[in-house]
Amino acid sequence: MEVYNTRTSRKEELMTKVAGIVKAYVCGPTVYDYSHIGHARTYVNFDVLRRYLEATGYEVIHIQNFTDIEEKISDRARELGMSPKALSQGYITEYFKDMDALNVKRATRYPLASEYIPRIIEITGRLLESGQAYVAGEVIYFDVQSAGGFGELVKNLEDSLADKVTIKGTGKRNPFDFVLWRSAKEGEEGWESPWGTGRPGWHTECVAMSIDNLGTTLDVHWGGKDLIFPHHECEALIARALTGAQFVKYWMHNEFVLLKGEKMSKSTGRTVLIREVLKDHSPEALRVLILSKHYRQKVEYDERAISEAGERYRRLGEAARRAKVNGWERGMSGCVKEYANLFFGALDDDLETGQALAVMDRLSNEILAHDGHDGFEGASKLYDAVEGVLGIRLHRDEDQSMSTQ
């Protein structure tokens, strides 16, 4: 299997550090609100990668965090008169409801940023001791230049943007230095540290959680394209300064979901919540819509698109049922072998789910047009792969399976 590596900007054969085991870290949501379909895209796309790797014999150790320390969490909790912990735990519960509905497999572990404060403090102290971090007032910054500068995922960033970043009054040595730890503001949740009561920086959190759970080198680090900079670039810099080892072998990033041509984002208020979509459409329709494009292509969401995805799902399910009823489960005809080669070939080529679904559309059209005819032996097994690898449930109860309202 080849995957596109953001670090090298090319497709590469997936070769893990330990034979037969994939250590994967996926950046989880910041839990101050319900999950939207942009989140669904990230986790459904990674879910297919995981399912395919497991189907081909790999053990996948999948770590996905929850960011439960964030100003937005504190602000929302204060507005609602509840603790930040209670607020974030409530949204974590809702996240699992959404992902279970979308048939996203549970991760091996879900660490919380708040559980890793001692480890984050230790990391920050080590970077201060090595001279790759410094104290400026009530903030501890990572010294980007002393650690070798950016370059893991983005090139020439400092030269192109340095004049646009102001450092006056911040105490920063360089424009791109970022926060490892800072003092807690009045009313904010804080933790005791050698530098007083404070809070960690976002990038420090993920380094602590990924390294503690997966070791110094990860095979795959997945996230949305918007995380390439600053989050993943800063993660890589911290990890390299901390361990001296390669942090990630394959950086993988999915594209955005668009609404009327613009990126979906909680911070801008341009969102469609998963729970709202599922009031009127089946979770399978949403999953088909997400997988109808390659993960590195943008997906446009609107009522027409989700309705068309629902119709695609209906035809896939109908063809799968006919294949099963007609007994096309044993052996595999030459015709179906060709479809199977195309289907799995698409997935081997950087997880081309759009092409894989198109292959199954063509097979489904043939089966529905030639119901009762021979020549489709083994088709049922290929539809089993659609369920097992693409995670699209084709054999649900009749009162649930074909809802595309």
Identity of the residue numbered 9: S
**Cβ count within 10 A of residue 14:** 21
> Which candidate, 19, 16, 20, places its Cα nearest to that of 58?
20
Question: Which CATH class name applies to 2-258?
Answer: alpha beta
* R_g of the chain, CA atoms, integer Å: 23
Strand ranges inside 233-278, DSSP E: 248-254, 257-259, 262-263
In 108-177, alpha helices (H): 117-129, 157-161
Rounded Cα gap, residues 103 and 47, in angstroms: 9
Report DSSP state, residue 375: S
What's the half-sphere exposure (Cβ side, CA atoms, 13 Å) at 338? Answer: 6
Please tell me the predicted confidence (pLDDT) of residue 186.
82
275 Ramachandran zone, left/alpha/beta (phi>0; psi -120 to 50)? alpha
How far from 112 is each of 117, 131, 138, 163, CA to CA, in Å?
A: 10, 28, 25, 36
Residue pair 105/52 in contact (Cβ under 8 Å)? The answer is no
> Which candidate, 201, 182, 247, places its Cα nearest to that of 67?
201
Q: pTM of the predicted model, to two decimals?
A: 0.93
Which H helix or E strand runs over 226?
A: none
Please tell me the predicted confidence (pLDDT) of residue 160.
53
The domain segmentation of the chain, as residue ranges, is 2-258, 282-401
Question: CB-based contacts of 385: which residues, under 8 Å, 6+ apart?
Answer: 55, 340, 343, 344
The pair of structure tokens assigned to 405 is 């309202």
DSSP states along 31-63: SSS--BHHHHHHHHHHHHHHHHHHHTT-EEEEE
The pair of structure tokens assigned to 280 is 């009127």
Rounded Cα gap, residues 318 and 328, in angstroms: 14
The pair of structure tokens assigned to 216 is 């110094």
Rounded Cα gap, residues 84 and 61, in angstroms: 29
What's the half-sphere exposure (Cβ side, CA atoms, 13 Å) at 234? Answer: 20
Extract the residue ranges of the chain whose pLDDT is less than 70: 158-169, 265-269, 372, 396-405
Rounded Cα gap, residues 130 and 229, in angstroms: 25
The pair of structure tokens assigned to 206 is 């993920």
Question: CB-based contacts of 135: which residues, under 8 Å, 6+ apart?
Answer: 128, 141, 195
Q: How many residues does the chain have?
A: 405
Residue pair 370/336 in contact (Cβ under 8 Å)? The answer is no
